[in-house]
Amino acid sequence: MAEFFGDNLKLLCSHYRSIAEVCRRLAINRAQFNRYLAGQSRPTPFNLKRICDFFGVEEYELGLPTEQFARLIGARGMQPSPGLDSDPLLQLLQPLREQAGDLRRYCGYYFEYSNCMSVPGSILLSLVQLREERGDFLFERQERQERQEHARGGESEDWVRCRYLGAAFYLQDRLFLLDYESLTGNEMSQTILIPSFKSRITRLNGLKTGVSSGDLRTPACTRVVWEFLGAEVNRVNAYRQVGLYSPDDPRIDADTRQRLGGAQIRQGLFEIE
């Protein structure tokens, strides 16, 4: 564990505002914690358990090679993207900024539930962060699905990961979200959500359009539910829940299933004449 522990711990801490905040939450002395980060000292079994419980990781995982550990927790994908305001998609939508309303009350983390366009009959749970940057409202959505080859016992990478970056606009009582898949650049989607008029945001309903990831890349539309998690969350723990679920999985509650309309997807909405 000693070889990679410090770097992996730094990676986990990068999900928070500062090392001081992590130390304060863990109630661990900052000087001692710095020695952990530098690989100069190993935590006691008691402190190690506190660290693992706080970040939502297992002790053995902290000893994995850093590249493997980063893939495991999706750490690289959750880092803010510098210069996102210069993205061509946002430049194209610049005129909408003057017309859009304030989305600050909606900023934070969400679980997004949708009927999976690529695996019909499954529910896709994604992790979304909506944030404000210099007056613009940007969001990032993390998805991952198990590869079919791995499910059949193949030797390929076990997960397919997608990272969507986009912009959000509040236009006349509707939330419009446009994004693109940033790792491949081969897909865009649009989500329209009905805002919440309650004092506390819990869930948002809407529709999402996009394409399936199959060979035909069929245009499709599905109902979508956003479940508000909070302004700050344990991102490692939240990311671990991202993936595909069966509609009858006990982790998908009855209200979400009902809002999704029984795993219904409309495909082939557009015909070429």
The CATH number given to 84-267 is: 2.40.128
Domain boundaries, the chain: 2-73, 84-267
In sequence order, what are the beta bridge partners of 159? Answer: 146
E strands, the chain, are: 108-115, 123-133, 136-146, 159-170, 175-181, 188-193, 203-211, 219-230, 243-245, 265-267
Give the H or E element holding residue 269. none
User: Could you tell me the two tokens for 176?
Assistant: 């419009």
CA dist 76 and 111 (Å) reads: 19
| Tens-place pLDDT, residues 213-263 | 666 788 889 999 999 999 999 888 898 899 999 989 999 999 999 999 854
Residue 156 has pLDDT above 60, yes or no: no
Confidence grade of residue 135 (pLDDT, cut at 50, 70, 90): confident
What are the φ/ψ torsions at residue 64 (nearest 5 degrees)?
A: -70, 155
Residue 27 has pLDDT above 70, yes or no: yes
Percent of the chain with pLDDT over 70: 81
The CATH number given to 2-73 is: 1.10.260.40
Residues 6+ apart with CB under 8 A from 176: 168, 169, 170, 190, 191, 192
Confidence grade of residue 269 (pLDDT, cut at 50, 70, 90): very low
Residue 150 has pLDDT above 80, yes or no: no
